[in-house]
Amino acid sequence: MKSNMDQTISILKSGLEGKLNLVESVSHNISYNTQLQNFLSEPFVIENGSMDQYIQSIKPIVYYGLQYNQVDISSIMIYMNNHSIPEGFGSFNYDTAAKGKDWYDSFMKSNKRSYWIFIPEEGAYSFLQKIVTMEGEFLGVSRVSILKKDLFVTLNDSSADTSGVYIKDASGLIIYGKRQALVNKPVADEQMEWKGSLYIQSPIDRLNLQVGMSQRIPRSLGSYQLLTMAGFIAAIILSILMFYQVLKMTFVKIKASMRAMDHSIRTGFSEMVPVERNDEIGVISEKFNTLLVQINRLVTDMVKRETIHKDAQLKALQAQINPHFIYNTINLFSAKTELAGLYDVSEAFADFGQMLRYNMNGQSEFATVKQEIDHVESYIRLQQMKYGERLQFQWSGSSSLLQMLMIRFILQPIVENSITHGISKRDQLLISLDINLNDQNEMVIVITDNGTGISEGKLYVLHELFQHGQDVVPPLSTVQQTGNGIGLSNINNRLRLFYGEAYSIKMESVEDLFTRTILTIPCQLEKEAYDNAEPHDRR
């Protein structure tokens, strides 16, 4: 008799513990969902598609957890501290809706990440869990609830007519059970006999409850033991059949996901795997889709990087027809003008030859900072043939930065842009170039001129163009490619593709006062480190 009761209590307790585990699993799937955490941590901006994301991606996370579960969850609530997100869908509320309630305040004061609590006014047990990011940012509280009657429903069919199954709370009061067990018995131990009945009970620690069973002690236990044994065997067989069905359904879903993944690979990663579940299989499908997006993005970036680099050297490649003839001709002109006493013209020819050699050197995508500055100084000396003392140039910076590598053809087009748009209304145009290191050990290059400046509206358009690319706003003539060099738009695209999207051009200007162009480039000494390298990710 005692053995049968022990087995029955064990089965009942396992059933209750299993339901608690399923409720906690649903809570974990929601609270640790990366997409939900990112949504709760960011400002809600309708113009940026936050409402579409709310409806199409965030709402289903809670909806599927509520609809597709095996324990009759009554409600799932998210109490969020980000009040820029609108409440709605029956599950998303501000934390102010829960503040002031005993269960919420006691949970927030505790140092626990999660625990169970009974809410009498709802007649439900709730599993509370704090939503915290990997970085430790607190985003709110999730509450997954199951009604008491649904949690204990399996106890109704678990006892015979002469026995009773009951649930006792911490104070010893019976809160659930058949009528035979509704009278409070003075049972304090896990097992005892009292007034002709045997009482056995076992704790459910997570709910601070005791599940127990009482049964009259008969004079003859033979037939009853046989009946109990038969019932126990039937319960085991039923459990095995149920487990087999659940396992069969799980493998069917796994095979379906694998077929979808194979199809996506065969079609060139163009089709996403449908995510129809909110369990571990759904998480695997979601991660696979994330991997597909990353692969497509990397392939696109590689194609764009190569295209931008080829475009940047197109004019130089076109000029490589018989380069020795061009060099020899320039050297001949330089020598003739020097013999004629035209030293300034001779130096201009020499500078032009140096620039031509630099532009035609297609062996490398990179140059040192010193080579880029030398290229700018050659260009300045040529322009001074036209503008004379009206054009001045100076640069400053640590000599240790001169050997740092950067992609070619970056500085001269910016200086050219300053001269083109800044000297027309100035008696003297001063262009300064400063090179320093920031706190992240990155090289910061600042080019400033005292030209005519840029209007506030045009500066805004330039900022949007540099941050988001040419598809966002109409292209401006100040950033288009011209017949004399590479435009600022080309430079910005090359910087973003080689170093990452965070390394875009930044411009500051006050109309009729100055224009300042700011470049941030990762420090790198050895060229080999760039080979097959991915763009930097600075966030």
The pLDDT-based confidence of 229 (bands split at 50, 70, 90) is: confident
Place of tokens 């910005």: 492
* Spatial contact of 200 and 190, defined as CB atoms under 8 Å apart: yes
pLDDT single digits (tens) 6-51: 788 888 888 888 889 999 999 999 999 999 999 999 999 888 888 9
Type and span of the H or E element at 526: none
User: Token pair of 487, please?
Assistant: 């435009």
Q: 320 pLDDT exceeds 70?
A: no
- Looking at per-residue pLDDT, the higher value among 534 and 314 belongs to 314
Q: What's the rounded Cα separation, in Å, for the pair 449 and 221? A: 103
Q: State if pTM tops 0.85.
A: no
pLDDT single digits (tens) 436-493: 999 999 999 999 999 999 999 999 999 998 988 655 444 444 444 433 334 788 899 8
Residues of the chain by 3-state class (helix, strand, coil), percent to 5: 50, 20, 30
Q: What's the rounded Cα separation, in Å, for the pair 282 and 233? A: 35
Estimate to the nearest angstrom the gap between the alpha carbon of 354 and the chain centroid.
47
Q: Is the dihedral of CA 273, 274, 279, 283 positive or negative?
A: positive
pLDDT single digits (tens) 386-429: 888 999 999 999 889 999 999 988 999 999 999 988 888 888 99
Estimate to the nearest angstrom the gap between the alpha carbon of 489 and the chain centroid.
28
Where helices occur in 121-175 by DSSP H, the ranges are 148-151
Tally of CB atoms within 10 A around 204: 16
- Looking at per-residue pLDDT, the higher value among 247 and 428 belongs to 428
Where helices occur in 398-514 by DSSP H, the ranges are 411-422, 456-468, 488-499
pLDDT at 194: 65
* Spatial contact of 330 and 352, defined as CB atoms under 8 Å apart: yes
pLDDT at 14: 86
- Looking at per-residue pLDDT, the higher value among 328 and 523 belongs to 523
* Spatial contact of 392 and 426, defined as CB atoms under 8 Å apart: no
Dihedrals φ, ψ of 203, to 5°? Answer: -80, 145
Q: 69 pLDDT exceeds 50?
A: yes
Give me the helix-helix angle, 456-468 and 488-499, nearest 10°: 40
* Spatial contact of 485 and 413, defined as CB atoms under 8 Å apart: yes
Adjacent-strand bridge partners of 119 = 124
Dihedrals φ, ψ of 222, to 5°? Answer: -60, -55
Estimate to the nearest angstrom the gap between the alpha carbon of 191 and the chain centroid.
54
- Looking at per-residue pLDDT, the higher value among 386 and 240 belongs to 240
| Distant-in-sequence, close-in-space partners of 227: CB < 8 Å, separation ≥ 6 | none
| Distant-in-sequence, close-in-space partners of 229: CB < 8 Å, separation ≥ 6 | 4
Estimate to the nearest angstrom the gap between the alpha carbon of 115 and the chain centroid.
28
Burial of 114 (0-12, 13-18, 19+ CB in 10 A): middle
Place of tokens 């970085």: 135
